[in-house]
Structures are given as C-alpha cells and as structure tokens.
C-alpha cells in the first residue's frame, strides 16, 4: 500500500486480490462453515451455500467493489455520495454496529486458536480420545484464560491496524495463506485414510433435497454473507483502497472461488473425522476445536502439525479482523474526523467490551440467555443472519435500481479499457435475483410465507 492524498491504495493488483481473499478466508471457512453445515444436515446445506455464494455473493461483491472503489469512501460515505444522507444513515449504522458485533465474537474464537497453538507447542493438549477432547475444550474455554486470549488477540489486531493498515499483514498473508492452503490439502489427504471417510463425504456432499428447510436456507444465506464479508461494507471498504487498475469482476470471482474452496477443504477434513471418532456433527460452535486435535493426535509428529495449523488459523483470523475493523475505523476517521489512532482505540475498546461478554458466554455467563441464546450466539445470529443479508438486500436494490448504469460500467471496465461481458446478467441478479431471494428467505423463516 502507498499513501496517496492521505488515503492508502494497494500498490499491486496481486496485493489487492491477496488481501481481499485474506479478508474472506478466515474462521468463517474453517470454524463456522463446518459447524453450520453439521447443524443443518450436511449436503443440503452445502448445495444452498454454494448456490448463494455464486448467485448472490458474486454479484454483491461486484456491487460493493463498484461502490467502494468508485467513491473511495467508507460505507457511510459511499451511500451518502451515491444515494443521500438517509440511506447512508441506515446502511452505514447497520454495517458499523454489525461489524463491531462480529469483531467481538470473532476475537473470542481467534483467542481459542492462540490457546490451542500454545498448548500444542508445550505439549499440553490431551486428545487421546473424544471424551478427553471435549473435557479439554471445556477447561480451555472457561475461566479467565479465554478472556485473556481474546484481549491478546485484539491487541495484536490493534498493533497491525495502528502501524499503517496493511504493509505487514499484506506481506504476511501473501506467504501465509498459500501455506495454510497446502496444509489443508495435506489434512484432506489424511482424511482419506480415516475409517469414517465414506460416511463423512456422504454427509457433506450427498445432496438430500428433502432436507432443505427454511432453517437450512436461512443458515446457508448467513454463512455465504459471513464468509464473503458481505452486506455490511467489509468489501466496500477494502475496495476503496483498490487501485484504478484492479479488475473488479475478476477479483470478485477469484475471491468467491478461493473462499468456497477453503470451506470445502475444511468440510473434507472435519466430517470424515467426525464420523471416525464418534462426535456429533451437530455439536455447534465447539465442533472444530473438539475434532481437529483428535486428528492431530493420530498423526506422527501431531503436536507440530497442531501448532502450525493453529498458528496459521490465528494469522488467517487476523487478516479477517483487520478488514472487519477497517469498516468502523474508516467511518470514524472520515465521517467523524477522528485521528486514525483514536478511531482504532475506539473500535478496539468496543470490540474488547463485547468480546469479554462473548468469552464469558462459555463460562460464568453461560446461563445468561436472551431469546434462548447466549451473548456469543446472539451476536453471531443477529449480525450474520440478519444484518448482513439486510445490508446485502439494500446494496443490491440500490446498485441495481438507483445507481447510474454508467458509473457501474465504468468501474467494471476501467472506463472501457477492457470489456466486462457479464454486465447484463449482473444487473439482472442485482435487480431481481438477490433481492427476491433474500426477501423470500426472510418471509419463509418468519413463517409469513
């Protein structure tokens, strides 16, 4: 990135793609996708998820990219410049509140990766059997330690943000993400040798259309949005740092392909293990942390694999939280005229307060529930399943129906420097497919339809 009229710009096209993929790939793929797929019946969830990624996610990525790069603003500023102050207030507030909620619970899970990484390194993990794995998870995620790790993670995030956006993280993620990818491929190959390989693959890939319920559709929609950092300005903010030369359509497609590839790899790693070790696929947010160490325990040099994996997962989480934090920081800086340092302190402090509440949801506050959910679950559910799709709905309708056609075309073709052959299908998706699909799923889940 280089400073350009006080606003940073990614210097290379590769850098822009790598950081965008870095934002998308994170705990959403490796922790959230398997547990959501497990809760929602596997194959049925997988088909809906992939359909949403490509039919709703890719068009919305293009829309957010156009808005972000075309206005070079935060979410609030982008809507204000293109649509007006009322729309900006609605979409901007939704995005900023949701991004801080996500940052809160995300930091807790990222904190678990720190704990697991250090415990692996010191040989302190005991996963000789499934019960031990569960017990270990419980002891590692209750008490004061998860609070400490949540704070440690947020401090790491803070340091990266304060030291001039992404120079360091850009370089780190260019190296780390390919390594993480290779490691995932290696674990996939290992899955092949597990006794539950067939059952696991059937669970995640065999499409059982009769299992597609409103809950499955709702969950898959939320997961697609979460995984692509969509609907609340994550990608819009990042695109505001793209150079004029970045090809937006291609970046959107590359991001969606790599992001879903990582989610599928995670599924291929987790489910054969779930069936081999007799763990319930419905375990929820704890699933991956209970299953993975069982896998590592059976590998030669397991603790080394385990340490490396959790270290990379920690770094993948950081590349995601940097983008999440950037939503509110760019808003505080540009709209509220705060210094970058103040803005970063403010959003980190809010995330820390929220994060501590979420961390306690697994310990002293586990009995404190709202609508039957702990604070942790509630933050995730409200932000991912409501705020993000609602934000996506607004973005699709706005870009599809109200933004000047030429503005969008110019963004996608760099002022006709090259062609973008999919302009018509894109418009159709934004005008009709995305809003109607999101609306139907909402009507369906509320029982109106």
Binding site for ligand TRP (CB under 6 A): 23-24, 26-29, 99, 102, 226-227, 229, 232, 234, 320, 323-324
Nearer to ligand TRP by C-beta: 34 or 133? 34
Do the beta carbons of residue 165 and residue 1 sit within 8 Å? Answer: yes
Nearer to ligand TRP by C-beta: 50 or 423? 50
Nearer to ligand TRP by C-beta: 229 or 286? 229
Nearer to ligand TRP by C-beta: 66 or 262? 262
What distance in Å separates the CA atoms of residue 380 and residue 43, rounded to the nearest whole number?
Answer: 23
Please state the separation of Cα 410 from the chain's center in Å. 29
- Which residue shows structure tokens 């969008």? 408
Nearer to ligand TRP by C-beta: 29 or 107? 29
Radius of gyration of the chain (CA): 21
Least separation in angstroms between residue 225's CB and ligand TRP is: 8
Least separation in angstroms between residue 31's CB and ligand TRP is: 8
Please state the separation of Cα 67 from the chain's center in Å. 20
Nearer to ligand TRP by C-beta: 184 or 194? 184
Least separation in angstroms between residue 102's CB and ligand TRP is: 5
Least separation in angstroms between residue 37's CB and ligand TRP is: 14
Least separation in angstroms between residue 113's CB and ligand TRP is: 12
Contacts with 405 (C-beta within 8 Å, 6 or more apart), sequence order: 427
Nearer to ligand TRP by C-beta: 383 or 430? 383
Least separation in angstroms between residue 24's CB and ligand TRP is: 5
Residue whose beta carbon is closest to ligand TRP = 28
Nearer to ligand TRP by C-beta: 284 or 425? 284
Least separation in angstroms between residue 94's CB and ligand TRP is: 12
Least separation in angstroms between residue 387's CB and ligand TRP is: 9
């Amino acid at each position: 990135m280089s400073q350009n009229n006080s606003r940073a710009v990614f210097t290379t096209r590769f850098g822009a793609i790598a950081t965008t993929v870095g934002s998308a790939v994170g705990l959403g793929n490796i922790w959230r996708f398997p547990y959501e797929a497990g809760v929602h019946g596997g194959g049925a969830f997988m088909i809906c998820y992939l359909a949403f990624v490509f039919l709703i996610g890719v068009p919305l990525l293009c829309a957010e990219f156009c808005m972000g790069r075309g206005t070079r603003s935060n979410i609030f500023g982008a809507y204000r410049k293109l649509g007006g102050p009322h729309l900006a207030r609605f979409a901007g507030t939704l995005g900023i509140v949701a991004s801080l909620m996500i940052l809160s619970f995300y930091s807790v899970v990222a904190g678990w990766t720190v704990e697991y990484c250090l415990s692996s390194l010191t040989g302190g993990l005991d996963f000789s059997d499934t019960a031990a794995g569960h017990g270990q998870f419980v002891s590692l995620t209750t008490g004061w330690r998860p609070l400490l790790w949540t704070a440690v993670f947020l401090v790491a995030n803070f340091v990266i943000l304060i030291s001039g956006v992404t120079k360091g993280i850009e370089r780190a993620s260019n190296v780390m993400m390919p390594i993480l990818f290779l490691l995932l491929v290696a674990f996939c190959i290992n899955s092949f040798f597990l006794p539950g390989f067939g059952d696991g693959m059937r669970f995640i890939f065999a499409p059982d259309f009769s299992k597609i319920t409103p809950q499955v559709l709702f969950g898959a929609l939320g997961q697609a949005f979460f995984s692509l950092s969509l609907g609340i300005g994550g990608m819009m903010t990042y695109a505001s740092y793209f150079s004029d030369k970045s090809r937006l359509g291609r970046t959107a497609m590359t991001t969606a392909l790599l992001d879903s590839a990582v989610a599928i790899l995670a599924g291929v790693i987790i489910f054969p293990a779930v069936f081999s070790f007799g763990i319930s696929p419905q375990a929820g947010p704890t699933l991956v942390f209970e299953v993975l160490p069982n896998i590592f325990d059976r590998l030669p040099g397991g603790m080394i694999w385990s340490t490396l994996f959790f270290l990379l997962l920690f770094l993948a989480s950081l590349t995601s939280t940097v983008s999440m934090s950037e939503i509110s920081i760019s808003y505080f800086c540009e709209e509220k005229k705060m210094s970058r340092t103040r803005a970063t302190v403010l959003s980190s402090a809010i995330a820390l307060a929220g994060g501590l509440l979420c961390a306690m949801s697994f310990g002293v506050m586990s009995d404190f529930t709202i609508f039957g959910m702990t604070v942790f679950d509630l933050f995730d559910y409200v932000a991912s399943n409501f705020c993000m799709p609602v934000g996506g709905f607004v973005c699709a309708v706005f870009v599809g129906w109200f933004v000047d056609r030429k503005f969008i075309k110019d963004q996608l073709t760099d002022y006709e420097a090259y062609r973008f052959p999919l302009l018509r299908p894109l418009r159709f998706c934004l005008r009709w497919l995305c809003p109607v699909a999101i609306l139907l799923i909402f009507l369906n889940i509320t029982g109106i339809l």
